[in-house]
């Protein structure tokens, strides 16, 4: 399956994800697959009526109505794109991950209809971000800019370079500025942090070298692309969140140099997913 796969469940978050996916598909000239999956233990009011035996006429009818309504509400006749409506009576995360195996992009809302209060990101979106091999965009209901820059965070890791390449393509599609951010901090000599003897000039020069190398390796063609590269003395997550305040999209690698091998998702990507005001794309390094 090519094109864009998006999760639908009747929630406002999923409807925003569908709208975003439709706009993206128009830019890319691809098909959108709107997928509604449910299982008997789903706890949302929106799909509670589908708690029938899998494949029963009642479940199929309710699911079809919910899916068709979601697509109708999100569809924009000014930017028409082909939409494939798909239903599956099984866990949403598994269905989305399988459907997106050969897709260009997987789009999910930050929360689904079955979210729990106090949880920052829903279990379906979290599973997709952690386990998908294709880029995953997580959207949110809050209004965000559609005219701002596309922001990418780099740290020299393979995943961040892949995120930069992906962000450069997105910036070209949108005619947007590509804002590339590399955050650095001088290494303390003790605990509590003691910076006596730190050569700031040398440290900054090294950080600049990382940024320049990422730009050279991640952007092979700057034609029709305006690049705003920023070297920021700050923690990576805070620097990216600040740089993306006016952005239409933020792209991060799934795990950078600061991650631990046993973690599926780096802390910087994790914080951006939870706190960014714009959609966040998580891009994995190529196998």
pLDDT at 112: 54
- Mean pLDDT, the chain, rounded, equals 84
Identify whether the C-beta of residue 140 lies closer than 8 Å to the C-beta of residue 13.
yes
Each residue's pLDDT tens digit, 57-104: 677 888 899 999 999 999 999 999 999 999 998 899 999 999 999 999
Cβ atoms of residues 152 and 179 within 8 Å: yes
- Beta 280-283 vs 136-139: how paired, if at all? antiparallel
Q: List the domains of the chain with CATH numbers.
A: 4-139 (3.40.50.620), 150-283 (3.40.50.620)
Mean pLDDT of 43-70: 69
CA 104 to chain CA mean position, Å: 13
Residues 16, 8: Cα–Cα separation, whole Å: 10
Band the pLDDT of 256: cuts 50, 70, 90: low
Mean pLDDT of 173-198: 77
Q: CB under 8 Å to 96, separation ≥6 — which residues?
A: 5, 7, 35, 37, 106, 108, 124, 128
Q: Considering the entire predicted model, what is its pTM?
A: 0.86
Residue 187 has pLDDT above 80, yes or no: no
With 70 as the cut, is the pLDDT of residue 262 above it? Answer: no
CB-CB contact of 135 with 35 (8 Å): no
User: Which residues have CB under 8 Å from 28's CB, separation 6+?
Assistant: 3, 4, 104, 173
pLDDT tens-digit map of 23-41:
999 999 999 999 999 876 6
Asked if pLDDT for residue 160 goes beyond 90, the answer is yes
Do 10 and 70 form a contact (C-beta atoms < 8 A)?
yes
């Amino acid at each position: 399956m090519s094109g864009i796969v998006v999760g639908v469940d009747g929630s406002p978050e999923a409807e925003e994800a569908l709208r975003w996916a439709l706009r993206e598909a128009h830019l890319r000239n691809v098909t959108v697959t709107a997928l509604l999956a449910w299982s008997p233990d789903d706890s949302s009011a929106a799909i509670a009526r589908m708690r029938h035996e899998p494949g029963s006429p009642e479940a199929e009818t309710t699911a079809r109505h919910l899916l068709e309504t979601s697509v109708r509400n999100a569809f924009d006749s000014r930017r028409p794109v082909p939409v494939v409506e798909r239903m599956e009576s099984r866990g949403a995360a598994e269905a989305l991950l399988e459907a997106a195996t050969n897709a260009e992009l997987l789009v999910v809302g930050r929360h689904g209809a079955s979210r729990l209060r106090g949880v920052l990101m829903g279990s379906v979106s979290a599973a997709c971000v952690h386990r998908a091999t294709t880029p995953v965009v997580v959207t949110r209901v809050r209004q965000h800019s559609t005219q701002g820059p596309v922001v990418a965070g780099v740290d020299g890791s393979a995943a961040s370079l892949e995120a930069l390449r992906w962000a450069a393509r997105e910036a070209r599609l949108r005619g947007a500025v590509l804002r590339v951010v590399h955050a650095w901090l001088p290494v303390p000599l003790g605990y509590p942090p003691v910076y006596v003897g730190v050569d700031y000039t040398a440290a900054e020069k090294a950080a600049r070298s990382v940024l320049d190398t990422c730009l050279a390796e991640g952007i092979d063609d700057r034609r029709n692309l305006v690049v705003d590269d920023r070297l920021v003395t700050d923690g990576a997550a805070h620097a990216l969140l600040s740089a993306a305040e006016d952005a239409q999209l933020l792209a991060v690698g799934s795990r950078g140099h600061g991650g631990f091998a046993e973690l599926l998702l780096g802390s910087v990507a994790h914080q951006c997913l939870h706190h960014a005001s714009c959609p966040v794309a998580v891009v994995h390094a190529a196998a």
